[in-house]
């Protein structure tokens, strides 16, 4: 993993001269409606027990907020910076549950909350900055999560290093097509976070964005293992200059 990140950093060195020609800033917020699927398991006394997010926990679609800001500058060698926070809390109630989680058997009415709230810290360089723009960098995704089944909590946290890329195509009349991806394998942790969207920016530097976002997780942190997917549409507003 260290060799992979070092190689990415070395590959970026020749591109550091391609900094933004002017200072830029953007901040935005919106809502993402995600639909969970997959499973989460814990290692109880050396025996892995799992629960399906749909059939066992009955987790439902839910709209959650996200916010972000980014700063781009013309200083060579110093990368640009983006910060993004995403709430990812799914809840569900199963009136006829029958599963084992974290060493406890649950039957009958079971209430579940799965919290994967996360923060992304992204350092990147602008490779292209014209009608077509392209960014390349690194993401540190901090996950502070927990699973609560009938008031029995299991907490887990970790920071996952990821490769980052983004592209945007400017269209007439203030429209643009854009996409982002962060993906990496760090030990037994594998995460892919993909966004595709359409944006519209007004003459007053205010804009709207709509698109889809998909996150897939293979997590092995502390005593928690998971293979999960959260996908759905989002919409938001932003200000940029």
Q: Token digits for 95?
A: 């009136």
137-157: pLDDT as tens digits? 999 999 888 888 888 887 878
Residue with tokens 């926070």: 85
Map out the domains of the chain with their CATH numbers: 2-240 (2.40.128.90)
55-70: pLDDT as tens digits? 888 999 999 999 999 9
Residue 8 burial (C-beta neighbours within 10 Å; 0-12, 13-18, 19+): middle
Does residue 29 have a pLDDT over 60? yes
Spatial distance between the Cα atoms of 199 and 44, rounded to a whole number of angstroms: 47
**Do residues 53 and 34 make contact, with C-beta atoms less than 8 angstroms apart?**
no
| 174 three-class SS | helix
């Amino acid at each position: 993993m260290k060799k992979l990140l070092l190689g990415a950093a070395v590959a970026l060195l020749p591109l550091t001269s391609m900094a933004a020609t002017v200072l830029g800033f953007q901040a935005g917020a919106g809502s993402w409606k995600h639909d969970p699927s997959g499973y989460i398991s814990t290692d109880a006394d050396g025996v892995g027990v799992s629960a399906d997010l749909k059939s066992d926990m009955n987790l439902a679609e839910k709209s959650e907020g996200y916010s972000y800001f980014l700063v781009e500058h013309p200083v060579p060698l110093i990368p640009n910076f983006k910060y993004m926070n995403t709430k990812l809390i799914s809840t569900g109630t199963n009136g006829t549950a029958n599963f084992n989680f974290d060493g406890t058997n649950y039957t009958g009415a079971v209430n579940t909350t799965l919290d994967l709230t996360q923060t992304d810290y992204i350092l990147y360089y602008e490779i292209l900055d014209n009608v077509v723009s392209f960014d390349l960098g690194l993401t540190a995704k901090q996950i502070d999560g927990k699973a609560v089944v009938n008031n029995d909590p299991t907490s887990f946290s970790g920071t996952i290093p990821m490769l980052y890329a983004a592209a945007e195509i400017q269209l007439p009349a203030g429209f643009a097509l854009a996409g982002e991806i962060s993906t990496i394998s760090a030990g037994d942790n594998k995460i892919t976070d993909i966004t595709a969207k359409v944006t519209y920016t007004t003459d007053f530097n205010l804009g709207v964005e709509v698109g889809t976002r998909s996150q897939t997780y293979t997590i092995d942190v502390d005593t928690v293992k998971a293979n999960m997917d959260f996908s759905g549409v989002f919409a938001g507003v932003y200000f940029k200059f």
